[in-house]
């Protein structure tokens, strides 16, 4: 049965065609102050919603009485409250696997770029400051053989561990809700407490999802436990780290540097003190942002929505309890 879908992120023509072959699609390239009211109005009679990077909370859902399925073009689900969606009878679907390797590449790019001062040194050349054979003032720090601590051994954390262990001979420590025997066997990863990880690792990489439990989990106390000269990498969500505490740890020299793809507020403020520090590599949330992967995510999300609206949602379901009819 043809139903109405609201699309709130620009997607390729072939992805739009996937949706339009089965349903009527109202599309917004993105949602902003100028079109938010129109977006909410379009939801009045919509059965499906697909997009990313917009908070979908009661201020939206209360105006979508017929909404049955939301498909996010992301692995992160922090823009949603799955429990509330379940209460409303709305299934939420995401795109976990398609972006794992690309996002892990971004994490390792940040490890290398921050350790070897790649952005700073590229600017050094571009600014004409390379006038003689470089000296100690241009040195970075080694990556191979150093200890990597992974906070959150999920799909992306595991892919970062593989790169570290098999590619760079790095001992891998990890903290997770539960041990991961697969990662331990494949990469020699060692499960430990967050405190032990922070005290032992030369590089700490954040790959936990943002939840009420992980919000602010890396604060002043945790940063103070990190090894002097350690490097912090974040490819998950900015608000997992207390950004004010991070700035202090960088400014007081406790940390050698930070490689950040995500920030408490995005886009990061142009006057942020993080952007004034040469030992901070800041990226605009490009974790999954390759042509191939973003297209693959959009195709996955479109198929997820088509499956959900036809009653065939069997994969990538965040809140499967909503699909199980309550006992009569």
Under the rule (CB under 6 A), what is the footprint of ligand 8YV?
Answer: 52-53, 73-76, 99, 285, 287-288, 297
CB of 150 to ligand 8YV, least distance (A): 17
CB of 199 to ligand 8YV, least distance (A): 29
CB of 260 to ligand 8YV, least distance (A): 13
CB of 184 to ligand 8YV, least distance (A): 26
Other CB atoms within 10 A of residue 200 CB: 18
Which residue of the set 213, 251, 265, 266 is catalytic?
266
Q: Which helix or strand (DSSP H or E) is residue 151 part of?
A: strand 148-151
3 is annotated as an active-site residue: no
Which residue of the set 23, 237, 256, 294 is catalytic?
237
Two tokens at 150? 């992974």
Q: Which is nearer to ligand 8YV, 73 or 308 (CB)?
A: 73
The percent of the chain in helix, strand and coil, each rounded to the nearest 5, is 40, 15, 45
Which residue of the set 117, 256, 285, 294 is catalytic?
285
SS3 state at 191: strand
Q: Which helix or strand (DSSP H or E) is residue 190 part of?
A: strand 190-191
Spatial distance between the Cα atoms of 122 and 117, rounded to a whole number of angstroms? 8
237 is annotated as an active-site residue: yes
CB of 92 to ligand 8YV, least distance (A): 13
Ranked by CB distance to ligand 8YV, the top (closest) residue is 76
Q: Which is nearer to ligand 8YV, 257 or 287 (CB)?
A: 287
For residues 204-233, b (16+ Cβ closer than 10 Å) or e, as one string?
bbbbbbbeeebeebbeeebbebbbeebbbb
266 is annotated as an active-site residue: yes
Can you list the alpha helix ranges (DSSP code H) found in 201-309? 220-225, 243-251, 291-309
Contact at 8 Å (CB) between 171 and 196? Answer: no
Q: Which is nearer to ligand 8YV, 10 or 177 (CB)?
A: 10
First to last CA, the chain: 27
Q: Which is nearer to ligand 8YV, 74 or 214 (CB)?
A: 74
Find all residues with CB under 8 Å of 45, minimum gap 6, and list them: 4, 66
Two tokens at 302? 């479109």
Nearest in space to 204 (alpha carbons), one of 236, 252, 180, 178: 236
Q: Which is nearer to ligand 8YV, 76 or 257 (CB)?
A: 76
Contact at 8 Å (CB) between 52 and 73? Answer: yes
CB of 72 to ligand 8YV, least distance (A): 8
Q: Which is nearer to ligand 8YV, 146 or 285 (CB)?
A: 285
The residues assigned a catalytic role are 237, 266, 285
């Amino acid at each position: 049965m043809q139903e109405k879908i609201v699309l709130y992120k620009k997607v390729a023509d072939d992805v739009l065609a996937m949706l339009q072959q089965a349903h009527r699609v109202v599309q917004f390239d993105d949602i902003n102050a100028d079109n938010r009211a129109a977006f909410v109005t379009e939801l009045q009679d919509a059965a499906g919603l697909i997009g990313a990077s917009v908070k979908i909370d009661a201020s939206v859902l209360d105006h979508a009485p017929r909404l049955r399925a939301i498909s996010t073009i992301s692995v992160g689900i922090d823009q949603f409250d799955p429990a509330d969606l379940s209460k409303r009878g709305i299934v939420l679907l995401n795109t976990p696997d398609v972006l794992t390797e690309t996002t892990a590449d971004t994490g390792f790019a940040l490890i290398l770029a921050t350790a070897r001062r790649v952005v700073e040194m590229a600017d050094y050349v571009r600014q004409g400051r390379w006038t003689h054979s470089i000296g100690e003032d241009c040195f970075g720090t080694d990556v191979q053989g150093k200890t990597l601590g992974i906070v959150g051994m999920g799909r992306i954390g595991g892919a970062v561990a593989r790169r570290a262990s098999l590619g760079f001979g790095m001992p891998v420590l990890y903290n997770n809700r539960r041990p991961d025997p697969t990662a331990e066997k494949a990469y020699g990863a060692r499960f430990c407490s967050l405190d032990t990880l922070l005290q032992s690792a030369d590089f700490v990489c954040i790959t936990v999802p943002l939840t009420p439990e992980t919000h602010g989990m890396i604060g002043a106390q945790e940063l103070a436990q990190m090894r002097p000269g350690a490097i912090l990498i974040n490819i998950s969500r900015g608000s997992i780290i207390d950004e004010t505490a991070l700035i202090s740890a960088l400014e007081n020299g406790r940390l050698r540097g930070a490689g950040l793809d995500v920030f408490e507020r995005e886009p990061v403020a142009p006057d942020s003190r993080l952007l004034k520090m040469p030992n901070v590599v800041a990226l605009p949330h490009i974790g999954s942002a390759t042509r191939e992967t973003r297209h693959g995510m959009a195709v996955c999300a479109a198929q997820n929505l088509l499956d959900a609206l036809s009653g065939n949602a069997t994969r990538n379901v965040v809140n499967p309890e909503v699909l199980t009819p309550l006992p009569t």
